[in-house]
A and B are shown apart, each in its own frame.
Chain A
Amino acid sequence: MSNNRICFTVSFPDVPKSIVNVWDALMGYLRDQECLPQRFDVQQICGHPEHLHSEEYIKLKTEDVRNLIIERSLDGFCVTAGRHDTGVNYRLANAKESGNQAHLWSMIDQNAKAPDHWGRLIEELINANPAIGGWQWGSLYRRWQNAPFLDRFYERTYGQAPPAIPCCIEKSIDGISPDRVRIKTSLNPGRSRELIPTIYFLPTAEMWLGPHFWQYAKCTKEEALAADFWLETRETAHFSYFRCWPTAFTRPDGEQGRMQRRLWKLFFHEDCEWPPGSGSICDEPMYGPPELMPS
């Protein structure tokens, strides 16, 4: 069974002023959802000044991570709990030499104890920090639609590749590994788009778009709010909320595919197709992992 949990990200134009407040918000949300691990393994690279970098992890009680953030004046964190198939990973990382932008990111294993909806946390974080946006998605669908290489792993995880999938050969980086087949995902309905280094837009069923998002979009906030396909929109002092589908997307075809196409056309004046090479969105589900096929 492939991992298909709901994950989230919140992206910020600058490293949040108070890292400990981001930590507190995350821990508070996990506690409320009864998903708070008792201990974390804390990585000593992410958020750490270079002189403290170490490949060793520190095992800490959850309540002690907060003190570590304060004592070491961290500007981010990367923590994990649990092992294979039951693990969670939360990280607040900045783009380092590529800019001051930062993002909070989650990875949730299939059987991990973690929430399956992150909206309240996303809103709390965006209310407290200037933001580019917040997104949540089904892990398997995102990974499939953005799979970078056509290889054994692709076939094992996502099934047979569409015959016309656009690809190019990428030379080995070191002459030891074989050349690889890179997939061009730029017309996939579920593709992501890098706005600035490390910060991505994802066409998701729910989006929380902050004031810093609109400089990257091809439409204005007012034009987005005026679109007629939203199930729900909300305008607040710190973000605009858009919901266009009842659940996280799982398919690039049918009505879901057409809805993602509307998002791409609205926000970036870009098109989509599924399957690759068709020039449109097919009605019936085609390709992809069996877990994402309608039952």
Chain B
Amino acid sequence: MFPRALKNRDDAFWMLEKAVDALALRPGSPSGPPSLKLHILKKPGSGSDQLENSLLNYVSGLGEQVSSRFTLEIQPFDLVP
């Protein structure tokens, strides 16, 4: 989902918030809401506290129906061997 390079930080946050929306607003299962997980790969050594804070703030604003089943995973991943 959203495999794009974005240099502008606000644009990147915005795109990730939209990824959260796409997850949150997709059809649920009749037996109950599924778990939602956003898995982000980051460049090793780069900071992600601000991104994590911004995204989790956004998720908390979506209400308990979304925030209570949402998991955010930010994992270092080196594209260059």
Chain A positions within 8 Å of B, measured between CB atoms, are 2-3, 7, 9, 43, 45-46, 50, 55, 57, 78, 80, 83-84, 87, 91, 93, 95-98, 105, 107, 139, 143, 146-148, 152-153, 156-157, 173-174, 176-177, 180, 192, 194, 197-198, 200
Supply 19 further A-B pairs (C-beta < 8 A) apart from A55-B2, A157-B60, A173-B37.
Answer: A3-B61, A43-B22, A45-B26, A50-B27, A55-B22, A83-B14, A91-B25, A97-B29, A107-B58, A143-B61, A147-B60, A148-B68, A156-B53, A157-B56, A173-B35, A177-B73, A180-B71, A197-B28, A200-B65
> Whole-angstrom distance from the CB of B17 to the nearest CB of chain A?
8
In the bound complex, what is the Cα–Cα distance between A275 and B57 (angstroms)? 23
Chain B positions within 8 Å of A, measured between CB atoms, are 1-2, 9-11, 13-14, 18-19, 21-22, 25-30, 32-33, 35, 37, 39, 52-54, 56-58, 60-65, 67-68, 71, 73
In the bound complex, what is the Cα–Cα distance between A192 and B64 (angstroms)? 8
Contact of B37 among A7, A177, A197 (CB under 8 A): A177
Q: Are B64 and A200 in contact (CB under 8 A)?
A: yes
> Which chain B residues lie closer than 8 Å to A93 at the CB level?
25
Q: Are B61 and A7 in contact (CB under 8 A)?
A: yes
> Which chain A residues lie closer than 8 Å to B73 at the CB level?
176-177
Q: A153-B53, A153-B56, A177-B73 are in contact. Are A139 and B28 (CB under 8 A)?
A: no
Q: A43-B21, A78-B25, A157-B57 are in contact. Are A194 and B64 (CB under 8 A)?
A: yes
> Which chain A residues lie closer than 8 Å to B61 at the CB level?
3, 7, 107, 139, 143
- 4 pairs of A and B residues whose beta carbons are closest in the complex: A148-B68, A143-B60, A97-B30, A84-B10
Q: Which residue of A lies closest to B2 (CB)?
A: A55
Q: Are B67 and A177 in contact (CB under 8 A)?
A: no
> Whole-angstrom distance from the CB of A48 to the nearest CB of chain B?
10
Q: Are A45 and B37 in contact (CB under 8 A)?
A: no
